[in-house]
Amino acid sequence: MTRLHLVIGPGRVEDFLQIFRTGVGVAVRVGCSLQDLLCGQFQLDESYVDRRITTIFLDGKPVDAVGSARIREGSTLALSAAMPGLAGAILRRGGALAPLRGNIMREDGERNEAPERDGVITVKLFNLLAPELAPGFLRRGVLLPAAEAEAFLRRRPPAFWDGCREILLDGRRVEAALLKGGCWAPPGESVDLSVALREA
C-alpha cells in the first residue's frame, strides 16, 4: 500500500469533497453496531448523529435504529443531512413517513452479530455533511484505488498545488510535479491518503 500525506493551506478541503460522493475506503473495526462506529470509532457526538445525520443508508438500505444495524466487512455507509421533498421525508430517520419504507429498512438486530475484527468499509458523504465530516476522515486517512487517486490529483487546478505546503510519499518528501504526472503508485494497489490542514 502506498501512503500519501498532504499538508494543505486553509480553504482547500473543498477540493476533496468529490471523492466522498463516490465513496472512500475507511479502515475500521467491523462487527460492531452502527452506533458504535459513528460515536465510538468516528468520535461523533451522539447529539450530532441524532440531529444532523438525518438519513443513513447501509448497503443500499435506509437505517432508522443505529444501535441495531451491524457493520460488516465491505459495507457501504452513506450519510446525509436532511434532503428536500417527499423522498427526503420518507427516507428521514424516525420521520413521520418512515413506515412507508418499512419493507426496505436495514435492521439486523442481534441475529447477525459477528466478532469484531479489522476491516474496510466504504463511506459516502452527501450535501451539508460532506464539508463537515470530510476533514475528520481525511485526517485519519482514507483508501483509494491507485488509479483513482492518481486521476484525482492529475485533475487538480494550479490553485490546489499553490495551497499544498508539503507532500510525503511513503514518508519521503516529494515535489508536486511527481503527483501531477501520475504513475507514482503501483497499479492495482490502494493509496492511503491523509490530509492535514495548516492554517498559516
Report the percent of the chain where pLDDT is more than 70: 82
For 6-31, what is the mean pLDDT? 93
Q: Is the pLDDT of residue 135 over 90?
A: yes
pTM, rounded to two decimals: 0.83
Strands 55-58 and 76-80: antiparallel
3-state secondary structure the chain: CEEEEEEECCCCHHHHHHHHHHCEEEEEEECCEHHHHHHHHCCCCHHHHHHCCCEEEECCEECCCCCCCECCCCCEEEEECCCCHHHHHHHCCCCCCHHHHHHHCCCCCCCCCCCCEEEEEEEEEECCHHHHHHHHHHHHCEEEEHHHHHHHHHCCCHHHHHCEEEEEECCEECCHHHHHHCCCCCCCCEEEEEEEECCC
More confident residue, 103 or 23: 23
pLDDT tens across 47-95, in order? Answer: 999 999 999 999 999 998 899 899 999 999 999 986 544 344 444 555 4
- For the chain, the structural domain boundaries read 1-19+138-200, 32-114
pLDDT tens across 85-131, in order? Answer: 434 444 455 544 445 445 444 456 545 566 889 999 999 999 999 99
